[in-house]
């Protein structure tokens, strides 16, 4: 039984190949390879959950973003555009990113929860992150979340 996200990726890959969409098919092929690699890593081969597949897709999208930035800094605009386009293909398979308002609301709630548990001030950072991370689950980058937590713990 394959996960629904993985089977969607495979179905979309087949469609992209038939449509001769080189960008989409190569991006999906690389992503499916990364998923397969993860499935056979470790003691025995196993089926990944949708959440695990989503993490791999997010990791692949992050690689594309970082590569695009590196290419831009190196003055290689064409490669940067290709990486951005691949990242956009992968973004279709990820949950919609949180807006700043949504992120701040979730962080504020976690700060209140941590304070109710006795954790306050800058030292509460770890407690707040433990509370907020599962609620955010791949919809905001860690650095963005940490910055929002720091801001709110500092009273900003």
Q: What is the pLDDT of residue 3?
A: 62
Per-residue pLDDT reduced to its tens digit, 90-115: 989 988 888 888 888 888 888 888 87
Q: What is the pLDDT of residue 7?
A: 92
Are the beta carbons of 101 and 64 closer than 8 angstroms?
Answer: no
Q: What is the pLDDT of residue 1?
A: 46
Q: Kindly give the parts of the chain with pLDDT less than 50.
A: 1
Enumerate residues 6+ apart whose C-beta is below 8 A from 136: 98, 103, 106, 145
Are the beta carbons of 33 and 10 closer than 8 angstroms?
Answer: no
Q: What is the pLDDT of residue 2?
A: 54
Query: The tokens 């003055």 sit on which residue?
Result: 75
Q: What is the pLDDT of residue 97?
A: 81
What pTM was estimated for this model as a whole? Answer: 0.70
Tell me the chain's radius of gyration from C-alpha atoms: 19
């Amino acid at each position: 039984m394959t996960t629904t996200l993985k089977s969607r990726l495979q179905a979309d890959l087949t469609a992209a190949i038939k449509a001769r969409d080189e960008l989409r098919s190569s991006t999906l092929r690389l992503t499916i390879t990364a998923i397969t690699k993860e499935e056979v890593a470790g003691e025995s081969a196993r089926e990944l959950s949708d959440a695990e597949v989503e993490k791999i897709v997010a990791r692949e999208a992050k690689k594309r973003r970082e590569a695009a930035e590196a290419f831009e800094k190196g003055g290689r605009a064409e490669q940067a555009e290709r990486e951005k386009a691949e990242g956009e293909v992968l973004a279709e398979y990820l949950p919609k990113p949180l807006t700043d308002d949504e992120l701040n609301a979730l962080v504020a709630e976690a700060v209140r929860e941590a304070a109710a548990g006795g954790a306050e001030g800058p030292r509460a950072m770890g407690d707040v992150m433990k509370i907020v991370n599962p609620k955010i689950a791949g919809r905001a980058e860690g650095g963005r979340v940490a910055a929002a937590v720091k801001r709110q713990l500092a009273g900003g």
